[in-house]
Structure 1
Amino acid sequence: MLANIRIVLVQTFHPGNIGQTARAMKTMGLTDLVLVNPRCFPDDEATRLAAGAEDVVDAARVVDSLSDAIGDCVQVVGASARLRSMPLPHYDEPEEMARELVENAATDRVALVFGRERFGLTNDEIQHCSHQVSIPANPDYGILNLSQAVQVLAYEVFRAWRHSPGSDFIQQRPPHDRPPTREQLRHFHDHLSRVMQASGFLTQPHARTEAQLQALFARAQPSRKELSLLRGFLSSVEPEDTES
C-alpha cells in the first residue's frame, strides 16, 4: 500500500531539500519520489542530506511536467499554505486526508504534491490536483520548510496506514529493551536471594521480604538490559564463595 503513495516535488530550488525530503519519506515507509524540473539534480548535496535515504534519492524520477508526474494517479493532493479560489475539495485536517489517501492507495496510485520553497504551487498546478490540504499551524508564524511539510504529511499517511485493516506493521523493539524471559527472571531472583542471605540482610527465614521484592520487580517490569545491570551490581557485592 505504501508503495502506491508518491511524493512529487515541483521545481525544487535547493538540492538539499530533495535529500531531506527523501529522508523524511523513508522514515515513514515511502519510497516513490518524482521531481518536476528540479533546478539541480542529481547533486552531491541531495545525496549528503539524505543521510541514509540515498536509495530514495537514487531511485527518484525526473519529469518535465506535473501532468507527467501524476498521470497514473487516481487521487492527487496538493499541499498549499493558502486557500485558492478554485472549487477543489479541501482537507481542513491532514488526518482526514491521510485516511482517504491510504484507502485509495490500497488499489491504485496516489500522490502528494509539494511546490517551490518560496511560493509553493501555482494556480495552474493546483488545477492538476483533485484535492488540497493545508497543515494547521501558528497563524502568526505558519512557515514550514519544504522537507518539514513533507515530514508532517508523510507521518499522517504512515499513521493512517498503521491503523488501517490491511496494515502488517509491528513496532520492533531492540533486543535489550524487550522484557526478560521467565527463566531470566528466575535466575535474577535466585541471585538476589543468594546475595541477601550471604550479606546477612535476610535474618528471619519466615519473613516475606523475598516475596515483597519479587512483587516490586514484577511491578517495575525491568527490561533485559536493566535486569543485566542489576545482576552486574549483585555480582559486584556478592562474596566470592557464594557465586555460582
Structure 2
Amino acid sequence: MLSNIRIVLVQTFHPGNIGAAARAMKTMGLDELVLVNPRAFPDEEATRLAAGATDVIEGARVVASLDEAVRDCVQVVGASARLRSMPLPHFDEPDEMAKQVISLAASSPVALVFGRERSGLTNEEIRCCTHQVSIPANPDYGILNLSQAVQILAYEVHRAWRQGEQSGFVYQTPSEALPPTREQFLHFQAHLSRLMHDSGFLTQPHARTEEQLQALFARAQPSRKELSLLRGLLSAFEEHLPKK
C-alpha cells in the first residue's frame, strides 16, 4: 500500500532539500520519489543529506512536467499554504487527507505534490491536482522547509496506515467507486471542451468558463463509472450536432 504513494517535488532549487526529503520519506516507509525539473540532480549534496536513504535517491525518477509525474494517479494532493481563486477540494487537516490517501493507495497510485522552496506551486500546477492540503501552523510564522513539509505529510500517511494495520482493518475503495486517473480526467476535459466549442456554446475564447466547468467536475469527484457515463452523455450529444 505504501509503495503506491508517490512524493513529487516540483523544480526543487537546492539539491540538499531533495536528499532531506528522501530521508523524511524513508523514515515513514515511502520510497517512490519523482522530481519535476530539479535544478541539479543527481548531486553530491542530495546524496549526502539523504544519509541512509540513498536507495530512495538512486531510485528517483526525473520527469519534464507535473502532468507526466501524476498522469496515472487517481488522487493528486497539492501541498499549498493558500487557496486559489478556484479552489479544489481542500483538506484542512493532514490526517483527513492521509486516511483518504491510504484508502485509495490500497489499489491505485496516489501522489503528494510539493512546490518550489520559495514560491510553491503555480496556478497551472494546482490544476494538475485533484485536492489541496494545508499544514496548520503558527499564523504569524507558518513557514516550513520543504523537507519538513514532506516529513509532516509522510508521517500522517504512515500513521493512518499503521492504525489500519493495528486494527486489522484497512478500507479499500471498491473498484466501481475508484476515482479516474489524471489521464482519464484529462480525456474527459478535452471531450467536454470539444463539445462546448462544436455546439456553439462557446463562440469565442472563454478560458474562464472552461476553467469554471472543469473546477466544478473536479469538486464533484466523479468515480470512474460516473465519468464513463458522462463521456457517454457527451458522445450522445455529439451525435446530434450538424456534420461538418
Normalised by the shorter chain, which TM-score bucket? 0.5 to 0.7
**Aligned equivalent of 1:118:** 118
Q: Deviations over 1:1-33 (max 9, x none)?
A: 000000000000000000000000000000000
Which amino acid letter does the alignment assign opposite residue 34 of structure 1?
V
Find the counterpart in structure 1 of residue 48 from structure 2: 48
Q: d(CA) in 2 for partners of 1:167 and 1:31? A: 24
Residue 164 of structure 1 deviates from its aligned partner by 1.5
Task: Measure the CA separation in 2 of the matches of 1:16 and 1:164.
Answer: 33
- Report the AA paired with residue 142 of structure 1: G
Unmatched tracts of structure 2, length 5 or more: 169-244
1:99 partner SS: helix
Q: Please report how far the alpha carbon of residue 167 of structure 1 lies from its aligned counterpart in structure 2 after TM superposition.
A: 7.9
CA contact (8 A) 1:77 1:130 kept: yes
- Local SS of the residue matching 1:144: coil
SS in 2 for 1:111: strand
Partner residue, 1:76: 76
Aligned-partner Cα distance in 1 for 2:33–2:4: 11
Aligned-pair identity (%): 77
1:26 maps to a residue whose letter is K
1:150 aligned onto 2:170? no
Question: In the TM superposition, what is the alpha-carbon distance from 1:87 to its structure 2 partner?
Answer: 3.2
Q: Is the counterpart of residue 38 in structure 1 residue 47 in structure 2?
A: no
Distance 2:26 2:167 in 1: 17
Shift of 1:165: 4.8
Check whether the contact 1:77–1:113 (CA below 8 A) recurs between aligned residues: yes
CA distance in 2, matches of 1:71, 1:103: 19
Cα distance in 2 for residues equivalent to 1:59 and 1:165: 27
Please give the root-mean-square deviation of Cα atoms over the aligned residues, in Å: 1.2
Matches within 5 A, 1:203-242: none
Q: For 2:128, what is the secondary structure of its paired residue?
A: coil
User: Taking structure 1 as reference, are residues 167 and 17 closer, same or farther at Cα in structure 2, changes over 3 Å only?
Assistant: farther
Asked whether the 8 Å contact 1:161–1:167 carries over to 2, the reply is: no
The amino acid that maps onto 2:118 is: R
Q: TM-score, normalised by structure 1?
A: 0.68
- Match of 1:112, SS? strand
Residue by residue over 1:92-124, the C-alpha shift from the partner in whole angstroms, topping out at 9 and shown as x without a partner, is 000000000000000000000000000100000
What is the distance in 2 between the residues matched to 1:167 and 1:94? Answer: 21
> Could you say what secondary structure the match of 1:141 adopts?
coil
Letter matched to residue 62 of structure 2:
V
Q: Corresponding residue for 2:160?
A: 160
Counterpart mapping for 1:67-146 below 5 A: 67-146=67-146
Q: How many residues align?
A: 168
Structure with higher Rg: it is 1
Q: For residues 54-101 of structure 1, what are the alpha-carbon distances to aligned partners after superposition, in whole Å with 9 as ceiling and x for unaligned?
A: 000000000000000001100000000111111310000000000000
Alpha-carbon spacing, 1:166–1:85, altered in 2? closer, same or farther (3 Å) = farther
Deviating runs (4+, > 2 A) in structure 1? Answer: 165-168
SS in 2 for 1:68: helix
- Stretches of structure 1 lacking an aligned partner (at least 5 in a row): 169-244
User: What is the match of residue 239 of structure 1?
Assistant: none
Mapped partners of 1:167, 1:30: distance in 2:
21
Instruction: Give 1:138 deviation, angstroms.
Output: 0.2
Specify which structure has the bigger relative contact order, considering alpha-carbon pairs within 8 angstroms and separated by 6 or more residues. Answer: 2
Q: TM-score, normalised by structure 2?
A: 0.68
One-letter amino acid of the structure 2 residue matched with residue 111 of structure 1: A
